[in-house]
Structures are given as C-alpha cells and as structure tokens.
Amino acid sequence: MARLDIQNLGPELFDFASFDLAAGERTGYSNYSYWRATVTKFLQSRQAVIALAILGVLLTFTLIQPFLPGQRDPNLINIDPETFRHVRNVRPGAEFWFGTNSIGQDLWARIWTGTRTSLLIAILVATWNTTLGIIVGAIWGYVRSIDRIMTEIYNVLDNIPTTIVMILLAYMLRPSVTTLIIAMCALGWVGMTRFVRTQVMIIRDREYNLASRCLGTPTGRIITKNILPYLVSVIMLRFALTIPAAIASEVFLSYIGLGLPLHIPSLGNLVNEGRQLMMIPAMRYQLIFPSVVLSLITISFYIIGNAFSDAADPRNHT
C-alpha cells in the first residue's frame, strides 16, 4: 500500500464525519455454526474420511448384496451337479468367490448375511443401552437427592459380572437373535449411566443452568434443553464404540457355544467355524475373510467415533 502523502490531504477531510450509532450494534456477526464446524473438522482427518468410506461401502454392500444377480442362498448346501457331493471346503475361486465352508455353504453369501445380522444386533443393543443409559444417567446426575441411593444401586449392578449374566441368559433362553440382544442389553447400559451422570454433574451448576432454575424451569426441561444438547458429542462417541463392542461380545458368545444357531449366519458363527479349521493352512481362508470384515468394522467405528468426538469439541474448532 503506497504511503499517503500527508501534505496532500485535502482540507475538507478535516471536517467531522457523521456518526452512525446503530451500525455499531450490527457488528460482530460471527457466522460460526457448531455443526458446520464439527463436520469441517471431522472431514479434515484423512483417517476418519477413509474409515467412513470403508464403512459406507461395507454397509451399502451388505444391504444390496441379496439383490445382486447370481447370489446364492447362504444356507443352501451346495451340491456339485456332477458328483452329487457337497462342495466342501472349496478354496476361493471363480465359482465361489470366498470359497465354501465345511458343509458346502457359500461363504460369500454367508459373510454378507452374517455381517448384516451382526450389525443389526449391535445397533439395536447400542441404541437400547445408550437410550436407557442417558435417561437414567441424566436423572441420576441432575437430581441430587437420589445420588446416594443411585450410587449404591450402581455399585451393585456394576459388580455383577456382565459376562456371566450374558452367558446365563444365553444359556437359559433358546439361542436366537432376540436372546442375544436381551443378554447384551441386560446390563450393558449400566456403564453408560455412570458416564452420563458424571458429564451431567460437570455442567449441572454452570451459570446458565442456575439461571434456568432461577426462572422456574422444571427439571425435565432443564435436562432436555440445557444439558443433553451439550452431551450429544460424547454420547455419539460412546454409541459409536458400543457397536464394535457388541459384535465382540457376540463373537465371544459364539466361541463358547452360546451364539446364534448355525442357520442364522453371523460374524460370530463364521469366525468360530473358521477358528476350528485354523490349523490347516489350506482352509485358513474360512477364518481370514470373516476376521478381515470384523476388523474393518471395528477399526472403522473406533476411528470414526474418536474423530467425531474430537471434532465435536468446540475447543478444537479453530
């Protein structure tokens, strides 16, 4: 910028300028939107975008796979038309893209069906646990008078070994999708409760909440309008992490024989079947494929969950 020649400034410039008071009030419009900033920050993380893409592809594929041409029924025991024998343990090739398992079922179809089932279970469990956890946790955190009794109840529930409860329930009820969901939901929500309660206690006495109390706002509305909106980001994170955890529980239950029946393929079943053939190098593919899918899902959810949580923290919004 060229330096203005001071001597050459016209004398009329030294008159008073008119003063606009209202213009001052309109300044400072900052155009910052919390969600927009969150999304921008999220997209800045390459890992997260890749993970999101992978997950997106997987999900889409599990949903459209049955409708693609030439797909086989996952439970169909394929029989070789020439020899009339079960097409057992065939390595991946042109005919069966992922090969077949020990009784001749198409692994490709089984994996996608299994992923569908596992994800469905996991999402239902996560939704239930999160919802119940938030409701109980928010009330617990906000209403001081019930804190003592709730802490005692929580301590009792928390000390019950969830694994044993899951095993017990899965054992008592007949193996099915519903059983699995019930088993994982029975005590899975307790952890979320404690977490939400802590978060609520942190913001409970901030000035804007005191102001609401001073204005006579009832507790329910304070929780829903003042507190929960602040917890959305941390809750989303927990939700995202609960999904791979649910799948892992399901795999574990399958290991110990309490998983889904074989005619309902799930990642747990598939991993379990594959594990039994692990020592035979030629058959390792039966373990590798479901494991890879499982790993991709788990890792993606972790990365996405963490990236989202970081992005949703206003302190990270530059």
Q: Which is nearer to another protein, 6 or 94 (CB)?
A: 6
Closest separation in Å from C-beta 45 to another protein: 16
Closest separation in Å from C-beta 30 to another protein: 5
Rounded Cα–Cα distance for residues 160 and 168 (Å):
12
Closest separation in Å from C-beta 142 to another protein: 14
Q: Which is nearer to another protein, 81 or 218 (CB)?
A: 218
Closest separation in Å from C-beta 213 to another protein: 6
Q: Which is nearer to another protein, 151 or 295 (CB)?
A: 151
Q: Which is nearer to another protein, 7 or 159 (CB)?
A: 7
Q: Which is nearer to another protein, 32 or 67 (CB)?
A: 32
The 3-state secondary structure of 112-179 reads HHHHHHHHHHHHHHHHHHHHHHHHHHHHHHHCHHHHHHHHHHHHHHHHCCHHHHHHHHHHHCCCCHHH
Name the residue with tokens 């029989």.
79
Q: Which is nearer to another protein, 21 or 279 (CB)?
A: 21
Closest separation in Å from C-beta 157 to another protein: 21
Distances (CA, A) of 194 to 57, 133, 248: 34, 8, 22
Q: Which is nearer to another protein, 150 or 166 (CB)?
A: 150
Cβ neighbours, 10 Å, residue 277: 17
Closest separation in Å from C-beta 18 to another protein: 9
User: What amino acid is encoded at 44 in this protein?
Assistant: Q
* 103, burial (CB in 10 Å: exposed 0-12, middle 13-18, buried 19+): middle
Three-state secondary-structure class, residue 90:
coil
Phi, psi (rounded to 5 degrees) for 278: -60, -35
Closest separation in Å from C-beta 238 to another protein: 19
DSSP per-residue codes, 252-281: HHHHTT-S--TTS--HHHHHHHHHHTTTSG
Q: Which is nearer to another protein, 169 or 227 (CB)?
A: 227
Closest separation in Å from C-beta 5 to another protein: 10
Cβ neighbours, 10 Å, residue 258: 21
Residues that bind another protein (CB under 8 A): 4, 6, 9, 11-17, 19-21, 23-32, 34, 37, 148, 206-208, 210-218, 225-226, 229-230, 317-318
> Which residues lie below 8 Å from residue 82, measured CB to CB, with a gap of 6+?
none
* 269, burial (CB in 10 Å: exposed 0-12, middle 13-18, buried 19+): buried
